Amino acid sequence: MKLSERLKRWDVLYFFLTNNKFKIGIGILLFFILLSVIGPFFVRYTPYEYAGAQASPPTFDHPLGTSPFGYDLYSQLIVALDGTWLVGLIGGGVATMIGLLIGFFAGYKGGFWDELLMMLTNILLVIPTIALLVIIASFLNSRSVVLESVIIGLTGWPWVARAVRAQTLSLKSREFVNLSKISGAGTLKIIMEDIAPNMLSYVFMVFILQFGGSILAIVGLSFIGLGPTNSVSLGGILQDSVLWNALILGYWWWMIPPGIVITFMVASLYFINMAMDEAFNPRLRST
């Protein structure tokens, strides 16, 4: 590895370690990851098990209180948190992979394939994602977390494909790509060995955005009653609190904790994304 490349990597690493946005984002994210790992050890009830108290505010036995049905809200929150991570990983991963494949192929091949793939991308791009998700989810009698995560991923890739295509169009005219063409390397090899490695930072940033977008999508679906039918979710907890007038009745412990978790989880991902954008683009760094 060249000395200049080593210095550049150390510069990026140092920026991460000293960037306040990154420290705030990663701190919040690690807190929720730790809560997901340690939290289940303190769960005493299943999400829909009667806990012996109704509409009880937070106590030592029920850290987040109980619902009017006697459900322990701490147990529901911890189980819903695990499902939220799963949605982010699957939904964000599927959308990122599809967007990368279409963007790389369309940008590198050009011509007919570029026009065909971009036409499909543009059609899906103008269709409101949440409306498409609502239509698909409403036709499913049983909706698992994994199934809804895949659906979210299958509808969230168009903007990734367009962005990756633009980057690929710029990279495919570089000298190192032309050398690979002259040496007889195939399309897949050039994309995987020459183009993709030069976009790793951008790909990671795209995945973070897709991760947060997937979480917001499942929260939105659950809030309108189209979330997973076989598990509890953060959006589902919020929906129950609204349906049963938690705000009017003063059951603040029913609606505020899941709202705080959603807000801080998504905010932490965007803080990390902004820090990465500044790290890999020195022109954005504050002086």
Which residues, including other chains, have CB under 8 Å from residue 70's CB and lie 6 or more apart?
50, 51, 52, 53, 54
How many helices, marked H, and strands, marked E, lie in the chain? 13, 0
Residue 278 one-letter amino acid: E
Tell the residue number behind the tokens 């036995």, with chain if given. Answer: 61
Contact status, residue 55 vs residue 235, Cβ threshold 8 Å: no
pLDDT at 1: 44
pLDDT at 262: 93
Q: What is the pLDDT along the chain (287 residues), one digit of tens a residue?
A: 443 444 455 566 666 677 788 889 999 999 999 999 998 988 889 888 898 788 889 998 899 999 999 999 999 999 999 889 999 999 999 999 999 999 999 998 888 888 999 999 988 888 877 788 888 887 887 788 888 899 999 988 999 999 999 888 888 888 888 888 888 778 888 888 888 888 888 888 899 999 999 999 999 889 888 888 888 899 999 999 999 989 899 999 999 999 999 999 999 999 988 888 877 765 555 54
All structural domains of the chain: 21-284 (1.10.3720.10)
- In 3-state terms the chain splits into helix, strand, coil percentages (rounded to 5) of 75, 0, 25
pLDDT at 14: 67
71 DSSP β-pair partners: 50
* b/e burial code for range 41-51 (CB count within 10 A of at least 16 → b): eeeebebeeeb
Which residues, including other chains, have CB under 8 Å from residue 62's CB and lie 6 or more apart?
51, 53, 56, 72, 73, 74
Dist. CA 15–CA 281, nearest whole Å? 11
150 DSSP β-pair partners: none
**Longest distance between any two alpha carbons in the chain, whole Å:** 74
Structure tokens at 22: 């990154």
pLDDT at 282: 56
pLDDT at 180: 82
Instruction: Please report, for residues 7, 38, 105, 149, 248, the alpha-carbon distance to residue 267 in angstroms, rounded to integers and kept in the order given.
Output: 31, 22, 32, 20, 28
Contact status, residue 104 vs residue 196, Cβ threshold 8 Å: yes
